[in-house]
Structure 1
Amino acid sequence: MAFEKFDDIYRRAAERKGGEDKLEALLSTPLSKEQVADIPNDRWLSAFSMKVFQSGISWSVVRNKWPNFEEVFFGFQIEPLLLLSDEQWDTKASDKRIIRHHAKVKSIQANAQMIHEASLKHGSFGNMVANWPSEEITELWAYLKKFGSRLGGNTGPYSLRQLGVDTFILSGDVEAYLRSCKVIEGGKDTKRSLQAANQAFAQWQAESGRSLTQISQTIAFSSGDNRVLAPIE
């Protein structure tokens, strides 16, 4: 499969954003593998939980209430949460200090279990993520969807990006670009589409030496509406 050269994508994005310097200022730098490995398990659970609650709700509303979530859920420490009974989880789901959504609160329990089990195998959840092959990043998305709760679609990838993990995201602009190039055809979450996206990003990474994060952002800046502010992708 032939893909557009990354240099051409980059040149178009730079033109739309007012030059290379301005484009570079908009691009994010992901954490190193060592830094990802050092992220504590509780921060993974907090990030996953925040993105789950932000799905369908104003992101700012969730952020403003997040200190209350941290308090109610023991700072998202895995071990204390795993000791809670179902009745205790029900009580927490009705706590007025947080956004009361029973199914989303129960996802915290399921994702705590996922992180715990991964830690038993890999030493910590961060170790697992840090050592995941970049050319198979969508397999990590699939892992979160399969073993976690409510982490399908873009929720898992956005959570990873929030913590500094190097990943592309199939935002509206990126998906539209990949479809225009016939990289993705049919459902974006199908195994075939995700493998094709992996292949394309691996080629662009080999060409440019850039992170998946920066490639993804550059594609978003090169197509779609030319927003004044950086698109959330």
Structure 2
Amino acid sequence: MTEFSVIEQRACERAGGVDALESRLIRPEPPESLAMIGDDRYLSVMNRRIFRAGLTHRLVDARWPAFEIAFADFDVEAVAAFDDTDLQRLARDEALIRHRKKIFAVRDNAIAMQAIIDEFGSFGVWLADWAEDETVELWLELRTRFTQLGGNSAPAFLRMCGKDTFLLTGWVVKALNEWGVYRGRTTSRAALAEIQQLFDSWHEATDRPLCQISQILALSID
């Protein structure tokens, strides 16, 4: 298997040096910080990611203050109590993005999040407890529990809220192929488990967080 130092060296060359590369890399939040984030913020970020899927991020972000107002600042208990009439009205609101399935998904996700809160005390505590070597399992758990978090939306949500995760963007998958470290499907449970092991080995060898490893992979190819 290609040593990650070789991949990182190529990324450094393409970025313009070590300092230039480091300046582009993100840093995840530590577990204690994730545990302190309010449940309302997690619900907001989750649904902002859902609305971003298929749309320009700038458009969604510009509308998000109106979403905060419409959905009671994403108070989990309040949103879980919305009835169909409330949601149908919001699905026609021109201040929002009128996507009926995603509007209804906000309530579904509040209900799902409330179940986690009832069991673990807060969503942040539940999220913070997931270890890096179980990242793929976390993706699958999010996809199972929540609505509209398929594809790359679950890992993208984690990245947005600061939970360490790698992403399997087109650039990352292309890099895995070009470096000869993984070829084949990236969607089956078995494939994801194999890719998780690959990232775990690089994480152990470099002590870099998973998010930086996937960024470096993406930056290592033309």
Q: Do the two structures share a fold, i.e. TM-score over 0.5?
A: yes
Kindly provide the amino acid, as one letter, of the partner of residue 47 in structure 1: V
What secondary structure, in the 3-state scheme, does the structure 2 residue paired with 1:170 have?
coil
- Runs of at least 4 residues off by over 4 Å: none
Query: In the alignment, what sits opposite 2:116?
Result: 118
2:176–2:217 Cα contact (<8 Å) kept: no
Query: In the alignment, what sits opposite 1:30?
Result: 28
Name structure 2 gaps, 5 residues minimum: none
**2:146 matches 1:145:** no
Kindly provide the amino acid, as one letter, of the partner of residue 85 in structure 1: D
Summarize deviations over 1:42-62 as a string: whole Å, max 9, x none: 111111111111111121111
1:183–1:193 Cα contact (<8 Å) kept: no
1:174–1:220 Cα contact (<8 Å) kept: yes
CA distance in 2, matches of 1:184, 1:143: 25
Query: In the alignment, what sits opposite 1:204?
Result: 202
Query: In the alignment, what sits opposite 1:169?
Result: 167
Summarize deviations over 1:80-135 as a string: whole Å, max 9, x none: 11111122221122122101110010111111112111112211111111110210
Q: Cα–Cα, structure 1 residues 184 and 115, in superposed 2: closer, same or farther, change >3 Å? A: farther
2:49–2:156 Cα contact (<8 Å) kept: yes
Kindly provide the amino acid, as one letter, of the partner of residue 123 in structure 2: F
What secondary structure, in the 3-state scheme, does the structure 2 residue paired with 1:75 have?
helix
Query: In the alignment, what sits opposite 1:195?
Result: 193
Shift of residue 185, structure 1, vs aligned partner:
1.3
CA distance in 1, matches of 2:117, 2:183: 34
TM superposition score normalised by structure 2: 0.96
Summarize deviations over 1:205-228 as a string: whole Å, max 9, x none: 0000110111111111112x3xxx
What secondary structure, in the 3-state scheme, does the structure 2 residue paired with 1:153 have?
coil
1:50–1:62 Cα contact (<8 Å) kept: yes
TM superposition score normalised by structure 1: 0.91
Fraction of identical pairs, as percent? 35
Query: In the alignment, what sits opposite 1:85?
Result: 83
CA distance in 1, matches of 2:150, 2:139: 7
1:9–1:222 Cα contact (<8 Å) kept: yes
CA distance in 1, matches of 2:200, 2:127: 18
Kindly provide the amino acid, as one letter, of the partner of residue 64 in structure 1: A
CA distance in 2, matches of 1:133, 1:112: 24
CA distance in 1, matches of 2:123, 2:183: 30
CA distance in 1, matches of 2:149, 2:188: 15
> In the comparison of the two structures, how many residue pairs are matched?
221
CA root-mean-square deviation = 1.2
Q: How does 1:215-226 map to 2 (within 5 A)?
A: 215-223=213-221, 225=222
Summarize deviations over 1:172-196 as a string: whole Å, max 9, x none: 111112234252412x221011101
CA distance in 2, matches of 1:200, 1:119: 32
CA distance in 1, matches of 2:147, 2:177: 28
Name structure 1 gaps, 5 residues minimum: 226-233
Query: In the alignment, what sits opposite 2:184?
Result: 185
